[in-house]
Amino acid sequence: MPGTCERTPLLGDDQVSRSTDMTLATEWEDDDRMNFLFSDFKENRDVNTTDWDSKMDFWTALIVKTCRDRGTVCVSLQELSQTFRRKEKSPLGLATVIQSMARGGKIQRESEFAASVDCGWLSWGVGLLLVKPLKWTFSTLLGSSRVPLQESFVVIELVKEKATELLRVYRGSEFASRSVVSLQELCTLSSDVCMDESTLCMALLQLQRNKQVVVALHEGEKIVKFCQPGQDRVSPVSEVDVGIYHLQRSEKLLGERVEKLGLEADKCKAEARILLREGKKSQALRCLRGCKRAEKRADNLFVQLESIRAILDRIAQSQTDKMVMQAYQAGVSALRLSLKDVTVERAESLVDQIQELCDTQDEVNQTISSGVTRGDEDIDELEEELRSLLEESKPDSVSGLPQVPGRDLPSALPVVPHSHSHATTEELEEELSSRQKKATSPGRRLEPAQ
């Protein structure tokens, strides 16, 4: 029955043995160790907590690993008893292990898992696999000492892994641009991830619990809507989604028909060539007429296909425009909120206050930099005192000696005589003696050179 989740067939004895050997080959061959592990649990854990916990940890890890290796997310006591059968014996404490795992939240009854997500799923048979009435699903497992052999349990860790993998496969496929896909298309797409439809249903239930997908029943067909990138959660399936889904399906069907008619036309042309070479002209013409009819139908369908694609493009554009408009609206709302207490008058007032404060600061800085003064009369007195100090600091001229010329030194020098230097010795001695007499004359005394 399409859409009904089917159970994974139980493993045969040979398959069980090989699967178990591959899982834990070392311990599985140790008879003493396995005899202890296959024995039942003590009624009271406090008798020997170490042995109890060791046995519980072993079977818990082995159950999860075996399910992961097989690619399943559901398990039952009957399946576990057959899977872990060794030397014609089954483990005696598996029921206790299941109860402990359920108490710790590691597994959950399949019926409870489905009902906790959305009871609507039960109406189209995904939750499924119910072997008891729905009211039984809400009974407590912890207080019961018996676990039904065929009761199915979901391994929470594994179903979360499958849900993440399923979402990754969808977003990396050709269906990523389509928010709504059929359950059968999803089954084909996820064949490498989910080994059967039961596993797919559990993964979808987990995704619905995470608000990543929503499942609906439309005209007897199950459709799945995925959350698109950028969205926090998926929205319910609307009439627009259903309309887009039908358009996309029509596009796919028309594309397949156009391709099929194209192949048919090519086949008719090839047959016409063969018949023409064989001299069967009438048959060749008949094949050509069939080729023309196929090409004409393909052209008509292609026009319809282009019309559907144009509509889908417009819908996609409208969705983009809607997103942009929502972004604009959000921006306007945020801007209006941020400018709620801002007005032009307040802005002008603030600018005037800032300018006034800046002017005041400039005046203060100028006043501080000018320093403290005692008036103009004090400045005049200080300048006069400064000039007198400069005059006193000049060096005194040596009395009796001519003042040393400054810049006009060349002009102050005596003129070099231009007379001929051929005077006699007697004349020079006479002139020297006359100069000495003048120097020793009264009123003029030659000071010794220092």
Name the band, by pLDDT with cuts 50, 70 and 90, for residue 17: very low
Give the range with max mean pLDDT: 61-65, 121-125, 438-442: 61-65
Does position 373 have pLDDT exceeding 80, yes or no? no
Compute the average pLDDT of residues 82-103. Answer: 88
Which is more confident, 162 or 146?
A: 162
Cα Rg of the chain (Å, integer): 55
For position 160, what pLDDT does the model report? Answer: 92
Compute the average pLDDT of residues 177-187. Answer: 86
For position 423, what pLDDT does the model report? Answer: 56
Whole-number average pLDDT of the chain: 77
Q: Which amino acid is at 407?
A: R
For position 157, what pLDDT does the model report? Answer: 92
Q: What is the spatial distance between Cα 284 and Cα 268, in angstroms, rounded to a whole number?
A: 9
Does position 72 have pLDDT exceeding 60, yes or no? yes
Contact between 215 and 222 (Cβ < 8 Å):
yes
Name the band, by pLDDT with cuts 50, 70 and 90, for residue 236: confident
pLDDT tens by residue, 29-47: 888 888 888 888 888 887 7
What is the signed CA dihedral for 131, 135, 141, 146, rounded to 10 degrees?
-50
Does position 133 have pLDDT exceeding 50, yes or no? no
Does position 161 have pLDDT exceeding 90, yes or no? yes
Q: Provide CB contacts within 8 A for 355, sequence distance 6+.
A: none
Does position 181 have pLDDT exceeding 90, yes or no? no
Q: What is the DSSP letter of 134?
A: G
- The dihedral of CA 138, 144, 148, 151: what is its sign? positive
86 pairs with which residues across the strands?
89
For position 2, what pLDDT does the model report? Answer: 37
Which is more confident, 307 or 442?
A: 307
For position 159, what pLDDT does the model report? Answer: 92
pLDDT > 90 fraction of the chain, expressed in percent and rounded: 6
Compute the average pLDDT of residues 293-318. Answer: 86
pLDDT tens by residue, 310-328: 888 887 787 778 778 888 8
Q: What is the spatial distance between Cα 219 and Cα 241, in angstroms, rounded to a whole number?
A: 14
Does position 158 have pLDDT exceeding 50, yes or no? yes
Phi first, then psi, for residue 221 (nearest 5°) are -115, 135
Which of the residue ranges 185-194, 228-237, 274-283 would you say has the lowest mean pLDDT? 228-237
Does position 199 have pLDDT exceeding 90, yes or no? no
Does position 347 have pLDDT exceeding 90, yes or no? no
Q: What share of the chain is helix, strand, coil (3-state, %, to 5)?
A: 65, 5, 30
Which is more confident, 83 or 143?
A: 83
Q: Provide CB contacts within 8 A for 215, sequence distance 6+.
A: 120, 121, 124, 126, 183, 204, 208, 222, 223, 224, 225
For position 166, what pLDDT does the model report? Answer: 92
For position 13, what pLDDT does the model report? Answer: 41
For position 374, what pLDDT does the model report? Answer: 55
pTM for the full model? 0.58
